[in-house]
Structure 1
């Protein structure tokens, strides 16, 4: 359990350092594009380092650390909740940034800058985590440092099956995100954390359940077992297709591409006050009866 304690301290340090980066960006940078890019960088950096350490615990912990999958899933839920509460509007996920672009919430230049910041953040997070592992602060890190250069692919299924799994995870995640993104953080954060934990538990044995192209690039693409094109199909195209399907199902259209709603009928903007019309009918009948009862000259 000493190795687990070291990892928990590592998680606290990573979140603390990234919170300091966010605080400095608010003090030193403009609140517009520069602040947004700084938050995306800090969020991607935090997410990458946390996920790499958590993946190490998941791979080595059951046989080298004396704890089971339940401990790792509990940590995953808590970390997902912390990420959701601390990201300060950043997504740290390219498919979420592309979704905002397709919803006309972000320009092409801003979206491209976000993707670049996410790539730099995950790349730096991967490099610093490898450096941290090389210090071998625990037995788990000693084992991880030995096997890290010879890491194997996270794809443990046929290529179409793996792409379908990643696409399905992305589809469900984005569908939940679209539903709760306007909700209060007290509701949104735990719902998304439960969703991520559930998807990781169910789809993890097949592909790792990453459904984040930037995170997958930093953590998986350098591993042996599959070609670069295989990784692109599973971890880039799969999540992108899942996001598009979720957006189309939720909206009925993709505003950046077309405005016509393909799935849901548009309700009329103006409503007829039926209750008022029905209440006026008896009065009209009484007036008609009164006029008929009047004597004719």
Structure 2
């Protein structure tokens, strides 16, 4: 239990440091630079360090600490609630940034977000490795012994793994699109619950990352799968899932297809039937009047 307490202190420290980084950046940077760079950098750093520590607890905890996956899943839900409340609008997820680009974001802002996410994930991986090297708990000692021979998170066939990651991404983005206009009080716990359920179901097959940057930092360096295998599962799978969710929700993929491919275009305003009938009656009366005027103007024999 002492090792779990150290991990809990680590989570709070990471969130606190990243929150200080966000406040300082918001004060000294322009809104555009803060939104595209500092906010995404801090969010990616926070997400990567938290998820790496959680992943360590999931792998070592059952036999090194005597607690099961239920503890890790509970922590995952609480952490994603905390992330949603503290991220200040950052996604820390390349597929979310690409979705924003397809909807409304500019190309330069999207590139800046992707670079910041990559830098944040890389920094998070390096700092977490340094933290583990201090071996503050027996969990970290075991993790350091395992780190040199870490294995791939893909525990199924390649096509099935890509399908699993794509399906997770599809469901996550569908919920995200559905709740994008909702109040944070409802949106944050709903997204946290979605991530927790998807991790519980898909975790044994692929680790359930459905975040290309996080997967790159967490598992690309492990042996057991080639780089191209990782790309197919953890990059192309989530990207395809995001596009499918956007297509289902919007009926098209903006910037790629202007025409609605799934749903017929309906008028935003409904006209009452009585008003429609009155308009038809007025039209018939006007036609009759014009016909009468035409017959009166015709020359008589």
- The residue that corresponds to 1:98 in the other structure is 98
How far apart are the structure 2 equivalents of 1:196 and 1:23?
27
Q: Deviations over 1:184-204 (max 9, x none)?
A: 000000000000000000000
User: Mapping of 1:271-282 within 5 angstroms?
Assistant: 271-276=270-275
- The residue that corresponds to 1:76 in the other structure is 76
How far apart are the structure 2 equivalents of 1:216 and 1:269?
42
- The residue that corresponds to 1:85 in the other structure is 85
User: Mapping of 1:243-282 within 5 angstroms?
Assistant: 243-269=242-268, 271-276=270-275
SS in 2 for 1:171: helix
Q: TM-score, normalised by structure 2?
A: 0.91
- The residue that corresponds to 2:20 in the other structure is 20
- The residue that corresponds to 1:122 in the other structure is 121
RMSD over aligned CA atoms reads 1.5
Q: TM-score, normalised by structure 1?
A: 0.92
Contact 2:158 2:229 in 1 (8 A): yes
How far apart are the structure 1 equivalents of 2:264 and 2:200?
37
How far apart are the structure 2 equivalents of 1:34 and 1:241?
29
How far apart are the structure 2 equivalents of 1:113 and 1:2?
40
- The residue that corresponds to 2:288 in the other structure is none
Q: For residue 145 of structure 1, report the CA deviation from its aligned partner.
A: 1.1
Structure 2 unaligned residues grouped into runs of 5+? 281-301
- The residue that corresponds to 1:181 in the other structure is 180
- The residue that corresponds to 1:208 in the other structure is 207
- The residue that corresponds to 1:3 in the other structure is 3
How far apart are the structure 1 equivalents of 2:88 and 2:60?
32
Which stretch of structure 1 is more off in the superposition, 253-262 or 32-41? 32-41
How far apart are the structure 2 equivalents of 1:269 and 1:3?
57
1:270 to 1:79, Cα distance in 2 relative to 1, 3 A? closer
How far apart are the structure 1 equivalents of 2:77 and 2:202?
15
1:18 to 1:49, Cα distance in 2 relative to 1, 3 A? same
How far apart are the structure 1 equivalents of 2:68 and 2:124?
26
Q: For residue 272 of structure 1, report the CA deviation from its aligned partner.
A: 3.1
User: Mapping of 1:34-183 within 5 angstroms?
Assistant: 34-103=34-103, 105-183=104-182
Q: Deviations over 1:235-257 (max 9, x none)?
A: 00000000000000000011111
1:22 to 1:280, Cα distance in 2 relative to 1, 3 A? closer
How far apart are the structure 2 equivalents of 1:18 and 1:238?
29
2:215 is the alignment partner of 1:196: no
SS in 1 for 2:148: helix
Structure 1 unaligned residues grouped into runs of 5+? 282-297
Q: Deviations over 1:9-67 (max 9, x none)?
A: 00000000000000001111111134431000000000000000000000000000111
How far apart are the structure 2 equivalents of 1:106 and 1:69?
38
How far apart are the structure 1 equivalents of 2:46 and 2:242?
23
How far apart are the structure 2 equivalents of 1:53 and 1:85?
20
SS in 2 for 1:223: coil
Q: Deviations over 1:247-287 (max 9, x none)?
A: 00000011111110011111125543313466899xxxxxx
1:5 to 1:257, Cα distance in 2 relative to 1, 3 A? same
